[in-house]
Amino acid sequence: MTCLFRFCLMSATAVVLTLIAAASGGLAAEAKPVRSDEAWVASMKAVHEAFEGQRGTFAQFGDSITVSRAFWFGLQYAPKNLSPNMARALGLVRDYMLEDCWDWKGPKFGSQGRMTIRWAHQNVGQWLDDLNPEVTLIMFGTNDLNSLDLAEYETKTRQVVQKCLDNGTIVILSTIPPKHGQADKAATFADAVRRIAREMQLPLIDYHAEILKRRPDDWDGASDQFHQYQGYDVPTLIARDGVHPSNPQQYANDYSDEALHKNGFSLRNYLTLMKYAEVIEKVLAHRDEPK
């Protein structure tokens, strides 16, 4: 009788401990933080519910680094040495995006050299009225380093983003590349963009971080070690002017790993393609109506 009592008591205790462990596990699961990619996916799905424009429209708002046909435009013409993941992403984008959007370049499409976020702040309403893009990429800041302080840059960027979101337009934010002579301020502006993307739950292309990851010590084509090169034809990620991405002819429209370490525009194209494809797959694919 005593043994049976002990056995029952031990069994009951084990059951209680099991239930406590299960409950604790459930609480831990509930407390698990949402991953950043999951947060922007849910957020952009909610934004997209309000979109009433044409499916497959993709705008790019920015300065000379965006209006250049070295950015985005060339991906439609037989890019070389794509990884399997990049080839898949390119196929997804080609199937989904309207073909005209490869060449949405110039002021009426939201891109122009020497412009800052002030220009976008003044004109984004007109761009949204005229283009009504389903998705837009925004990258301003390189010219802003000369004339804006951080507070104005961050405030106006948030306001431009919000206008797009209120239109039902998904926003992909991009950090700016590092800049010769203003590396510290460029890093501060890049941090502001990361903060905006995190707080507003937006997909982010961290171009600044990718450049520093691939060429941490010699990204700057304006440095003395590249004195024998000219213009964009310098084998690192920032051109000889210290401002724009490089585009050496040896690696033009090339997406090998070597090219992604030596051609700044190829790197930006790669990052943009992969992020836009991710947005298509995770946010837009649930809408199966034709273009």
Rounded to two decimals, the pTM is 0.87
pLDDT, tens digit, for every residue of 90-130?
A: 999 999 999 999 999 999 999 999 999 999 999 999 999 99
Model confidence at 4, pLDDT cuts 50, 70, 90, reads: very low
pLDDT, tens digit, for every residue of 175-203?
A: 999 999 999 999 999 999 999 999 999 99
User: SS3 letters for the chain?
Assistant: CHHHHHHHHHHHHHHHHHHHHHHHHHHHHHHCCCCHHHHHHHHHHHHHCCCCCCCCCEEEEECHHHHCCCCCHHHHCCCECCCHHHHHHHHHHHHHCCHHHHHCCCHHHCECCCCCHHHHHHHHHHHHHHHCCCEEEEECCCCHHHHCCHHHHHHHHHHHHHHHHHCCCEEEEECCCCCCCCHHHHHHHHHHHHHHHHHHCCCEECHHHHHHHHCCCCCCCCCHHHCCCCCCCCCCCECCCCCCECCCHHHCCECCHHHHCCCHHHHHHHHHHHHHHHHHHHHHCCCCCCC
Does the pLDDT at position 148 exceed 80?
A: yes
Does the pLDDT at position 210 exceed 70?
A: yes
Q: Calculate the alpha carbon distances from 156 to 140, 153, 159, 161 in Å.
A: 11, 5, 5, 9
Does the pLDDT at position 289 exceed 70?
A: no
Strand partners, 137: 60, 172
> With pLDDT > 90 as the criterion, what percentage of the chain qualifies?
85
Tokens at residue 107, please? Answer: 């002021």
Does the pLDDT at position 15 exceed 80?
A: no
> With pLDDT > 70 as the criterion, what percentage of the chain qualifies?
85
Does the pLDDT at position 26 exceed 80?
A: no
- Over residues 16-31, mean pLDDT: 38
Does the pLDDT at position 287 exceed 80?
A: no
Instruction: Tell me the C-alpha distance between 272 and 181, whole Å.
Output: 26
Asked if residue 276 lies in contact with residue 72, where contact means CB atoms within 8 angstroms, the answer is: no
pLDDT, tens digit, for every residue of 42-77?
A: 999 999 999 999 999 999 999 999 999 999 999 999
- Over residues 235-240, mean pLDDT: 98
